[in-house]
Structure 1
């Protein structure tokens, strides 16, 4: 868990990470419902996107027809993230809202760093600069085998530009997430469990930390 930021801003910042098809979007929705039932005012955002600039970048990044260098991809993700933090996330935190983010900068480290083979320290650096060093208070990583994640995605809709990458790429991303989780002490959850069971693990963790840091 990322605890260094707690209480440095008024709102609570929670991020969900994992491979495509890991179930993070579902868990973000369930947690919002749980928090709102307890009186928290919540804002949900996704990456890339959440602003007019970010949405335009999202379309470009995910379009299978887009031809883009690995470095260009890394910079575009960082640019979309910078806009989201400045225009949406920081103002919401300053208002005391709880922000739930579907992907954040750890996605770039995992996908563009470990997955594409760009220098991991470089990817980390440009993204920390993009967000002004703002890290989530809590980050949950949902872990699934790449084959399971892609199967889930392809059964729901067509695969986007990133999702069409080969199995080796996704295994590197998965290994990257494991290293990131260890480095930053993130909570890793089994994405193969039933959604309700994962949700219970998340809320149990937040209840414990709620008492510990008095966030409520």
Structure 2
């Protein structure tokens, strides 16, 4: 895929460009936020550092997101929880903290591009897992032919998972997308809603727990 790397550190940039090229991608590196704002339309994915010399990477992220749906993966040294939440809330599709393992980076790149393609290419946005059918636009859930009534928050939790079927979603990202700010959300609230949601679906394994990370709508259920 065509990858725009926005990174001001020459050593990091050179290593990433070489590694991405060796794995079949077509990387181009720029060092400034202004260059990302003018070039992003020509790429399938942005790898965006936040510590840029001309402007903060979060501002670059917000500006790109206002005009384009290109997948954006933040790749930065800022690993505190508040920075991660701000990055995701500003429109990042994923967030990785340096130093990053190459295999994980490549997997995350594929995942965000795949999710982006699914969002733009699915007309009716109906997700089916076994005999569970989730209509994201109609906000309707059907299990084995019967409608299941969910609260607004229960459906919101399920919708976040259903929009990424088969992909692990962190607890933090779930809380951020459903409650608006994972930094302030109470973790126990998510646990309660997931328990209620699983009971109503009555399909063990449909929502799989990824220990120490989050959850996944399991395609193998």
For normalisation by structure 2, the TM-score amounts to 0.34
Higher strand share: 2
Higher helix share: 1
Highest RCO, 1 vs 2 (Cα 8 Å, sep ≥ 6): 1
Q: Flag the structure with larger Rg.
A: 2
